[in-house]
Amino acid sequence: MTSAPLAPYSRTTRGSGPGLLLAHGAGGGIEANYGPILDGLAAQYTVVGIDYPGAGKTPTTQGPLDLDELADQLVAAADAEGLDTFAVSGYSLGGPVALRVAARHPERVTALVLSATFAQVDTRTDLAASIWHELFTSGQHTLLARYVTLLAFSAPGLNSFTPAQVQSVAAQIAPSIPPGTGAHVDLVRRADVRNDLATITAPTLVVVTTADSLIPAALQRQVADAIPGALTAELPTGHLPFAEQPAEWLKIITDFLSGQPTR
């Protein structure tokens, strides 16, 4: 008996050149998490990303999400675009997805860039995610937007806004929170790719967001420490490098992929 083919997720494709797959974070999407640097990436690469269920134009699904299915969907998108080999960039929850791609398809992955990510959340991050999930499922989306803003920005980034501006931004963000957020955050709490780390053979860069209150820098460095030969680059932002320092984030990614020395 053969398995039914996976219904494809909505896909973003831009640019030309070597393949670069993008895996986004929980409660985000390709445009939400990579939008500010997409043009820069597409100037050098054929960029392919998918939106998880309940994000972008991908419909929500019944039941919990599965890392292997997300990884398979991302590889299927690469296949559909004719990419035999590719680098993979994973942001936040996208890190475990990217790691599953690299572990399952080592012969196809040319490089791995992991930003603001984890192999398994710790108790503190699980608590933060549980509150995030509860606020979402209870429909308190404006409060959720304020809570995530508190966790996701660095202190200097958040303090660049007035309290009134933060309230206004949260009110604007709340209606656009993706309907799949609850399932995404549930997967954050369940994801465990620690056994994959020692098997990774692709050149790997871990971009550590050093002022991150959601995924602490120590948790990110544990990923780098367990991957053979992995390099690290520090970015002094909170959990949103695309919001706080997009140009620097883009440069770190493209320099690594082009073989430039990593700071």
pLDDT category at 251 given cuts 50, 70, 90 is: very high
Vertex 53: Cα angle to 48 and 55 (nearest 5):
70
Instruction: Give the pLDDT confidence of 10-49 residue by residue, as tens digits.
Output: 999 999 999 999 999 999 999 999 999 999 999 999 999 9
pLDDT of res. 1: 36
Domains and CATH numbers, the chain: 11-122+192-257 (3.40.50.1820), 124-176 (no CATH)
pLDDT digits (tens, 9 = 90+) for 197-245: 999 999 999 999 999 999 999 999 999 999 999 999 999 999 999 999 9
For residue 132, the Cα-to-chain-centroid distance in whole angstroms is 17
In this prediction, residues 53-75 reach a mean pLDDT of 95
Predicted pLDDT at 122: 97
- What's the confidence (pLDDT) of residue 120? 98
Q: Which helix (H) or strand (E) holds 147?
A: helix 141-152
> What are the structure tokens assigned to 78, written together?
């690469």
Query: What is the C-alpha to C-alpha distance for residues 136 and 238, in angstroms, rounded to an integer?
Result: 22
Predicted confidence (pLDDT) per residue in 138-178, tens digit: 999 999 999 999 999 999 999 999 999 999 989 999 999 99
In percent, the amount of the chain with pLDDT more than 70 equals: 97
19, 46 Cβ separation under 8 angstroms: yes
> Per-residue confidence at 8, pLDDT binned at 50, 70, 90?
confident
What is the rounded distance in angstroms from the CA atom of residue 237 to the CA atom of residue 212?
Answer: 7
